[in-house]
A = this chain, B = another copy of it.
């Protein structure tokens, strides 16, 4: 079971240098609420209210903030419809789907092993 991170190390052998853009993206994408929001959007478009209910426990403030960050990074797309009452839909972009293709195996493994990991 050979695993290596060599391809993403810099010249000094460091993983993700401080101040490096990678750290920022890592923080956005792997944040407490970021992963859950991205996960919720993985199998389809959701409206604001649906998202709020799907990501159990998230506050409106954090949902808004997380959505704006992920939209700013181009992982999700916001589409608002000029109706009454208002309707706004959120969905993964192509970039977001690329990301989730890599994230899903990880979340899947964690979901499958969480109980055993915490059993102690």
Contact = CB atoms under 8 A, between A and B. Distances in A.
A105 interface: yes
Q: Is the interface of A mostly helix, strand, loop or mixed?
A: helix
Interface residues of A, number: 60
A97 to B, nearest CB: 5
Interface of A: 1, 3-8, 13-18, 20-22, 24-27, 29-30, 32, 35-36, 39-40, 42-43, 54-57, 72-74, 94-95, 97-115, 117-118, 120
B111 A14 contact: no
Contacts of A118: 21, 24-25, 73
Contact of A55 (B1, B15, B55, B97): B15
